[in-house]
Structure 1
Amino acid sequence: MRVLVQGAGVAGLTAAFELASRGAAVTVSEIRPSLGGNASWFAGGMLAPWCECESAEQLVLDLGRDAADWWDTATPGQVTRAGTLVVAAPRDAGELDRFASRTSGHRRVDEDEIALLEPDLAGRFRRGLLFPDEAHLDPRQAMTALYDRLAAMEVAFRFGTDARRIFGFDRQIDCTGMATVDGRLRGVRGEMLILRTPDVSLSRPVRLLHRRFPLYVVPRADHRFMIGATMIESQSGGSITVRSMMELLSTACALYPAFGEAEVLETGVGVRPAFPNNLPLVEASGDTVRINGLYRHGFLLAPAMARQAADFLFSKDKPVELAHETDRQRRSA
């Protein structure tokens, strides 16, 4: 089977891996001149299905609980399995209790255990939640590693190419996100900073719950940290706003004051595609299968959606299925 995958973001790369692993001859087309620069490039890389259920449906946990294993298989060495730590200042203790009531897979930790887990946070927080089975990765390193793996599997890449000008394939997988013409989709803008400071060390993603501006910090190599939190209903991909930068920086300093002396290495904005229910979708039309609506869960949910798309292509006479509706039917059976 000759398959053209449109888009080299996380959805496209994971789909290409699933298809090539099953014997398809895969070509990936990407309108950008090289890998990166899309919404996936500005992601946090948190493989945190239990935490995400604070605001997402159970389906996100069901689809995402195996994501760390998938990334470990596809990109060995890229996944860090250290869990997620959620903390709140004493005045926001109610936010911590609310978060705990909406999630599972955690245990409560006190001030002493927080100090053992993250020594730089010693004495700053009295209570927290540890989600021990969660993981994280650096999206850019993971995408580059997956690209190299795909190239070794003889997947062809055509950068700087409009997929509408490519012919001769049996099937196509549309993974173009917001570029897809679909009136159901809306854009959700996420803004991020990358800071560097030798004065801070963290072993795992830390989420600071705050009544006004919650924040997450994801550690990366060389004392770099990805700072993010914003979810703005907007399709604008312009630069980060002054308001968002001030809020991100001030909240990061509330987590640990040494962030005030950090270098700002990069700011970025990614517009994530979302359907009205914020759940992903796999559907078919003619010879094209579409994967879309990953919302803020790209690296977490892309493996499961890629498997479903590959299952669809390799199953004869299978009806068109909505991934989330199919899963609900399975769970209720």
Structure 2
Amino acid sequence: MRVLVKGAGVAGLTAAFELATRGAVVTVAETRHSLGGNASWFAGGMLAPWCERESAEQSVLDLGRNAADWWDAATPDQVTRAGTLVVAAPRDAGELDRFASRTSGHRWVDEDEIALLEPDLAGRFRRGLLFPDEAHLDPRQAMAALHHRLAAMGIEFRFGADARLASGFDRLIDCTGMAAVDDRLRGVRGEMLILRTPDISLSRPVRLLHPRFPLYLVPRTDHHFMVGATMIESQSAGRVTARSMMELLGAAYALHPAFGEAEIVETGVGVRPAFPDNLPRVEARGTTVTINGLYRHGFLLAPAMARQAAELVFSHDKPPGARQ
């Protein structure tokens, strides 16, 4: 079976992998001239289904609990399994209790254990929540590694103008996100920063709870930290706003004052596609299967959605758990 995958974001790359491992001859078409620059490029890369359950449906936990295993198998050495640490300032202790009541898969840690887990946060927080089974990755490195593996498997990539050549395929997998023609989709703007400071080291993502503006920091290589992210109901892909910049930097400073001296390496904006219920869908119409609506859970849910799409292509049955 010859399959064309439209879109080389996280949905398209994971779909291509699942299809190819089942024996399909896959071509990936991307209108951009190279890998990156899409919403996936500006993701946090947290594989945190238990934490996400705080504001998401149970299906996000169910679909995402095996994501770290999938990425480990598809892109060896890209996943860090160190869990997630959730903290709050003493004045916001109620936020920790609320977060704990809405999630599972965690245990309480006190000030001493926080210092053992993250020495640079010693003395800053009295208690927190550790989600030991969660993981994270660097989205850009993971996408590059998956692209390299797909190419080694013989998958053809067409970038730029070549992406419009789409004849001679048995099936089409549409993973174009906000570019898809679907009136049900809305854009959710996410803004992020990448900071660099040699004065802080973190071993795992840290979420700082705040009643108005919760924040997460994800460690990357060479003392870089991804700081995010806003959730603004907007399809505008313009630059980071001054308000968001101040809120992100202020929250990072609240986690540790050394971030006040950090270099701002990069700012970025990604517009994430979402359906009204914020849950993804795998849908079929004729010979076309669409994967869309990953919202803020791209790297977490893309493997499960890719499996559903591949099963649908080969079985012609409704994919288990897919929303129609």
TM-score computed with the length of structure 2 as normaliser: 0.98
Identity %: 82
Structure 1 match to 2:304: 304
Distance 1:162 1:296 in 2: 30
Structure 2 match to 1:278: 278
SS state of the match for residue 87, structure 2?
strand
Structure 1 match to 2:213: 213
- Deviation (angstroms), 1:20: 0.5
Structure 2 match to 1:51: 51
Change in CA separation of 1:123 and 1:319 when aligned onto 2, cut-off 3 Å: closer
Write out aligned runs for 1:1-333 (5 A): 1-161=1-161, 163-316=163-316, 318-319=317-318, 323-324=322-323
**8 A Cα contact 2:311 2:319, kept in partner:** no
Change in CA separation of 1:322 and 1:133 when aligned onto 2, cut-off 3 Å: closer
Displaced runs of 4 or more, over 2 A:
161-165, 319-322
Change in CA separation of 1:96 and 1:319 when aligned onto 2, cut-off 3 Å: closer
Distance 1:20 1:294 in 2: 22
Q: Any stretches of 5+ residues in structure 2 without a counterpart?
A: none
Q: Can you list the C-alpha shifts for 1:268-317, whole angstroms capped at 9, x where unaligned? A: 0000000000000000111100000000000000000000000001104x
- Deviation (angstroms), 1:163: 4.7
Distance 2:24 2:175 in 1: 17
**8 A Cα contact 1:282 1:321, kept in partner:** no
Q: Any stretches of 5+ residues in structure 1 without a counterpart?
A: 326-333
Distance 1:307 1:148 in 2: 20
**8 A Cα contact 2:29 2:164, kept in partner:** no
SS state of the match for residue 161, structure 1?
helix
TM-score computed with the length of structure 1 as normaliser: 0.96
SS state of the match for residue 92, structure 2?
helix
**8 A Cα contact 1:209 1:215, kept in partner:** yes
- Deviation (angstroms), 1:212: 1.9
SS state of the match for residue 151, structure 1?
helix
**8 A Cα contact 2:189 2:269, kept in partner:** yes
**8 A Cα contact 1:281 1:322, kept in partner:** no
- Deviation (angstroms), 1:161: 3.3
Letter in 1 for 2:27: T
RMSD: 1.1
Letter in 1 for 2:251: T
Distance 2:58 2:237 in 1: 30
- Deviation (angstroms), 1:184: 0.2
Letter in 1 for 2:65: R
Change in CA separation of 1:87 and 1:25 when aligned onto 2, cut-off 3 Å: same
Distance 1:211 1:70 in 2: 34
Letter in 2 for 1:16: A
Q: Can you list the C-alpha shifts for 1:186-236, whole angstroms capped at 9, x where unaligned? A: 000000000000001000000000112110000000000000021000000
The number of residues matched between the two structures is 324
Change in CA separation of 1:120 and 1:160 when aligned onto 2, cut-off 3 Å: same
Distance 1:4 1:279 in 2: 24
Letter in 1 for 2:282: V
